[in-house]
Amino acid sequence: EPGKLVRQRVWTGSAPRDLNKFHRCPHVNGFKVDNWKQNLRVIYQCFVWSGSAETRKRKAKSCVCHMCGAHLNRLHSCLYCVFFACFAKKHIHEHAKSKRHNLAIDLLYGGIYCFMCQDYIYDKDMEQIAKEEQRKAWKMQGISASNTLCHVHCIGEKYSTWEPTKRELDLLRHNPKRRRITSNCTIGLRGLINLGNTCFMNCIVQALTHTPLLRDFFLSDRHKCEMQSNSCLVCEMSQLFQEFYSGHRSPHIPFRLLHLVWTHARHLAGYEQQDAHEFLIAALDVLHRHCKDDNGKKANNPNHCNCIIDQIFTGGLQSDVTCQVCHGVSTTIDPFWDISLDLPGSSTPFWPLSPGGDGSALNGESHTTGATTLTDCLRRFTRPEHLGSSAKIKCSGCHSYQESTKQLTMKKLPIVACFHLKRFEHSAKLRRKITTYVSFPLELDMTPFMASRPHNLSSLPVWNRYSLFAVVNHQGTLESGHYTTFIRQHKDQWFKCDDAIITKASIKDVLDSEGYLLFYHKQFLEYE
């Protein structure tokens, strides 16, 4: 829903989620006293859904911020007293802190926000009241259930969600062909035939087909193609997801995918061994170009695109260049699909790191063995770098060329963070593979590498935490090698995908692997 900030816990396996197992807000019970249901209904009737013309006039007149008088800025109402205030300007936060009123309701969408949990919350009883009052409001406005979605979409109020009826649920339960997802279910696991040095493609396909949000997108038929289906890579990916999750166990032959890749990324055409990282970027680029944004226009600019690829993979990299004379800072933000990290042993000098530095203990990595960690590589990537006298930049403050320092940080984190460990070194004098072992964690917190982060790292927010769900490995030399992938099917269940062969793997197998491409999925989603 546009304009509403939502944080959602993401399950990075294939099994369905049981909502009863999720942690619920413990602060709701303080509100559920006396006539709380009737009071909540009145708020929904008068200030949220406003079914009658009279209540809509009252809402327009009375719903203004009691601190600044603004009508907009995401107004919220305190659930304990009649107090309206801005969420964007944090006026409602000030009221909650001073009065110790922990719950407020979004007056546009009806969501309940808890200031103690610092998140929108779900409560079954409150949700039921919200739905009942919304239906009453729609009925008063003459909106039937059959045309609710169309009408509401047009007026820009709210998107309705589809829910199965009791009869539909009974039919599903008694359907003999119903697939039951269990902890040892193999649906989604399928090998890929090697068509001649195509392991580089197979390993990336395995990683993409096990990306949770990408899987949900394609399995819900969200792609509406306006191209010729035989030339659209997105259509082929949609078909590929159907094949993977069909329940068939025989290896799939991705010949149509290979043909489309050769057609749209000609530098990858042929049967020579290619780089898996290069294929990943080429595949995302073609998928991005073949997708449509919400306005139905070609999505040619990663900065202004709402296609599924950019929603999942695009982050923002902030570059701060600081003048050494006037200390003026020039900031630019560029989109990225992956982060390439230098390794010890390369010709690029590696930053000497002290054991136990920021982030290593936080991300569950240990320096006891002397191994380089993923956190080390990220600290090096985000460290300030002196550009030197040979790379002077014209300072807008000094109006002359001055020496400066440059620092890269994360301005916006993607839903899926892909880390490329630069194991292949190509230079005029040197062509070799770097086999340095890099320790990487199952869970990663990116807060220490953000452009703006809290001073006290011991009380970090959970919104920047990621879970590992795929690892691409390269075995062999620069001239002759083979790619395999570890993928996470369920929580703590890993499988090794070696072209057509899929075998069970342990967490130790995954973490002990060399690592070339590391795929992490955000644990909590935050979107407008």
| CATH 3.30.40.10 domain range(s) in the chain | 26-141
Lowest mean pLDDT of 134-148, 154-168, 267-281, 469-483, name the range. 154-168
Q: Is 44 helix (H, G, I), strand (E, B) or coil?
A: helix
Q: Determine the pLDDT at residue 470.
A: 95
Lowest mean pLDDT of 150-154, 389-393, 470-474, name the range. 150-154
Q: Determine the pLDDT at residue 20.
A: 40
Q: Determine the pLDDT at residue 505.
A: 93
Give me the catalytic one of 93, 151, 259, 482.
482
The secondary structure of residue 496, as a DSSP letter, is: E
pLDDT tens digits, 200-237: 899 999 999 999 899 988 888 777 777 766 778 888 88
Residue 204 and residue 380: Cα distance in Å, rounded?
27
First to last CA, the chain: 7
Confidence of residue 304 (pLDDT cuts 50, 70, 90): low
Confidence of residue 433 (pLDDT cuts 50, 70, 90): confident
Token code pair at residue 465: 């935490």
Q: Give how far the C-alpha of residue 73 lies from the chain's centroid of Cα atoms, to the nearest Å.
A: 25
Within 10 angstroms of residue 83's Cβ, the number of other Cβ atoms is 19
Kindly tell me if the per-residue pLDDT of 508 is higher than 50: yes
Identify whether 291 is a catalytic site residue.
Answer: no
The Cα-based distances of 514 to 8, 353, 378, 435, 475 in angstroms read 32, 21, 17, 7, 9
Identify whether 482 is a catalytic site residue.
Answer: yes
State residue 221 phi and psi, 5-degree precision.
Answer: 55, 45
Residue 86 host element (H or E): strand 84-86
Q: What is this structure's pTM?
A: 0.67
Residue 226 and residue 207: Cα distance in Å, rounded?
27
Residue 284 and residue 400: Cα distance in Å, rounded?
40
Lowest mean pLDDT of 140-154, 229-243, 414-428, 431-445, name the range. 140-154
Q: Which class in CATH covers the domain with range 26-141?
A: alpha beta
Identity of residue 305: C
Give me the catalytic one of 25, 46, 86, 199.
199
